[in-house]
Every structure is written in structure tokens, then in C-alpha cells.
Amino acid sequence: MSRTRRLVAVLAMLVAGISGTLVVATPAMAASCYGTSCNYLDPQTNGCNADARTLQAINPESPYTVELRYSPTCFAAWARVTGGLTGYPQYHYLKLQAWSAASGGTLLRVETKYVEQTVAGQSQWTAMHTYGHYVQACMKNASDFGWCTGRF
């Protein structure tokens, strides 16, 4: 192997080695909490929305959708409403409820977000709670009547 080829091969290995060790921070990696340290925090400002997925969505009354959201990176969940609640909606309490059991059980915590109006395509959400408990998202009225997702 000629000296030039050897130099090119060594440089190529160095570049490959350096590029293989560079880690670019992604939003999911930038999450600032995990599990119980996420309780009461906003999923957006704490980076948990980056890898979030919807566990279940319900559409109790068009034109809005209520979702139970979960972030594996943060091991936390929250409720989100998206769509068009306009004027003075009957159901305007978005809730994330944490339970001790999949059915029945003890209600451990409720995160509530008062939603007066939403614009089509825009979302509002509750604070998070650890996914270490069964959680569900609900949209209820002042008398605590309304709809909920299943418990996950």
C-alpha cells in the first residue's frame, strides 16, 4: 500500500470514528424529568412531548378530541384536548386522573385544566403524572359528569 493510500485510509478511519462518537441532542434526550419527578410539570416545557404517543383518544362531542398521552422517555402521562370548543362549552374541565387499579380502586391524583375555548387544530393539556399508576384522560363538567378514556 502506498503512503498516500495509507494516509487516506487512516484519515477515513479517523473521520468515521469521530462521526460515530458525536451525539446530537434530540428533544427526547433533552427531557428534564422522569417518573415521579414529572408530577405537576408541563410536558411541553420539560421535553416530554418529543416522543409522546396517544394511548387512547375519544371524541365525546364533536368537534374536539380528548387524548391520554404518554412519554416513554419521561415515564409520564397527561391529558390533552384538541379541536374546537367554542363559546361556553358544557364540558370544560380536562382532567388527568391517576388510579390505584385498572378498575375501581382509589383515585390518587387529579390534574385539572380549565378549558374555556379552543381553536380548531390547537391543543391544551394538563400537567403530567407518573405512569407508575393507572391513568386516564377525562373531559367533564362542573358536576364531574362527562367522558373518560380507559385506564392504562
- pLDDT tens, 61-88? 767 899 999 999 999 999 999 887 666 5
Residue 32 has pLDDT above 90, yes or no: yes
Percentage above 70 pLDDT, the chain: 76
How many angstroms from the chain centroid is the CA of residue 17? 35
* CA atoms 93, 95, 99, 104: torsion sign: positive
Residue 19 has pLDDT above 50, yes or no: no
d(CA 45, CA 138): 22
Residue range 40-61, pLDDT digits in tens: 999 999 999 999 999 999 987 7
Extents of the domains making up the chain: 28-148
pLDDT at 50: 97
Beta strands per DSSP E along 9-122: 53-58, 64-71, 76-83, 93-99, 107-114
pLDDT at 90: 76
Pick from 70, 97, 92: nearest CA to 81: 92
Cβ-contact 91, 142 below 8 angstroms: no
